[in-house]
Structure 1
């Protein structure tokens, strides 16, 4: 990823990831885990970490979880060379997620505290990525500020039943260039009668079935997933976002961008937690050449 600066905005969590469960959680029954990992979490952070691992300059906007969990997050951000534009937590519960990884999938219990952002100004960048629909609904000024600076904008969905049925959601989606939901979120939006019409494209994540890109004029590109044995699917969609955005910002063909997105997603499902300390993910065979950006 050549020289592009991306600001990722959204809620920041400390994830407590339990893996190797000896059974599904049930009322009145204690379940034991083989391992517990503390990881920085939240879609915006995970995308920023993977963008950095792909060679980009990534910054993060959000509110850190309350102590002692903030230390885990800031330490991992530094490991992954993610620039902090974050605010300290105010009073209240810590913003954490308990992730239960079992059988190649995961479930979450999350404590969400306050607003996603604490009024910090948008730092200079070429692109703004918003890690969850709820953040965009709570902070419409983010997109307005990005447009005033001629920044491109992308938006993940990140499941939230209330946001998926919010009357303002269609307008938010229409204001961004790239919308990056998964298949279940697209179905929920359709069930709520919400139009999905971003300026340039929707990129729909379908897990083991790959991904589908739909251009503003209706053109479609399908991309098969990379066969992978999943360990923990936490953050796979956010890693996918980073792969796609890094390639798109470097001017890749859309099929090439989807291939890199699927590669990042396959790496993510083979790791515990959303990111952790990532290796350098730049590969010569990626073929991202930095040519003039092509749109569908």
Structure 2
């Protein structure tokens, strides 16, 4: 395996589940960073947490999972959080989202120097109007972004992206339309996940699709983020599309086998994590 240097930039949050009271650290950029570290690569996370217990917990968990945290900024205020209601069926409803310290975060000048030295940078949720994406692309950096977590038009432009990720649920027709739209909007490569149906990739001239292997699902939280990590790691190592899709699917399958987007070893509230929380 070629060991590469990756960075992720953007969102982190505390997912607070009601009524169980359990909480998990997540966010697209955070989950991708941890998964890349678990794959054996050098992985840096750049983002902002609040100067509170949740912020300290986030930094600790990232470090314990092998992520370089020198780029994490601790800002006055609270760490981002999401309130999630869990129905008896296991379906999760996002009742409230507060971006907290993430809102308005921008990498500093020294951070930008380091980011431009990375083999690849993945951007999660950011409200910078695409400024970081454009600066990194203009510097020739390989950049990916998940537009599914940046739904606002102002923040989710894909023009020039090395890889644009999106999710289409299990709708095959919607996935094909989305692949073509991302290419038409200027992405060099488009990757669309389709849940239990697998994922597809296209550059506008050719495409490939893989089915998801049957697995026992404990929790799907962060599975899409894990797929992104597996895909970009394989892609930057020069593997073919089929292998990239397979590697992404394998990483997502591992994540579906435990609670949360990554192993949160020191979180004391995970000892009885399954109690009171219906899981799919």
Structure 1 length-normalised TM = 0.75
Deviation at 1:145, TM superposition (A): 3.1
Aligned mate of 1:94, from 65, 74, 79: 79
Within 2, Cα distance between the matches of 1:101 and 1:205? 24
Deviation at 1:151, TM superposition (A): 1.5
Within 2, Cα distance between the matches of 1:62 and 1:259? 29
In the alignment, which residue of structure 2 is the partner of 1:25? none
Within 2, Cα distance between the matches of 1:106 and 1:228? 20
CA contact (8 A) 1:101 1:232 kept: no
State the secondary structure of the residue aligned to 1:221. Answer: strand
Matched, 1:118 2:106: yes
Matched, 1:207 2:200: no
CA contact (8 A) 1:181 1:203 kept: yes
In the alignment, which residue of structure 1 is the partner of 2:9? 9
CA contact (8 A) 1:210 1:225 kept: yes
CA contact (8 A) 2:45 2:68 kept: yes
Within 2, Cα distance between the matches of 1:141 and 1:167? 10
Change (3 A) 1:66 1:230: farther
Change (3 A) 1:54 1:94: closer
State the secondary structure of the residue aligned to 1:51. Answer: helix
Within 2, Cα distance between the matches of 1:230 and 1:213? 24
In the alignment, which residue of structure 2 is the partner of 1:251? 238
State the secondary structure of the residue aligned to 2:232. Answer: helix
Unaligned runs of 5+ in 1: 19-31, 279-296
Within 1, Cα distance between the matches of 2:213 and 2:134? 37
Change (3 A) 1:233 1:100: farther
How many aligned residue pairs are there?
Answer: 250
Aligned mate of 2:145, from 139, 155, 159: 155
Aligned mate of 2:54, from 47, 69, 73: 69
State the secondary structure of the residue aligned to 1:174. Answer: coil
State the secondary structure of the residue aligned to 1:142. Answer: helix
Change (3 A) 1:245 1:139: same
Deviation at 1:17, TM superposition (A): 4.4
Structure 2 length-normalised TM = 0.79
CA contact (8 A) 1:11 1:117 kept: no
In the alignment, which residue of structure 1 is the partner of 2:164? 179
State the secondary structure of the residue aligned to 1:70. Answer: helix
In the alignment, which residue of structure 1 is the partner of 2:204? 216
Deviation at 1:105, TM superposition (A): 4.7
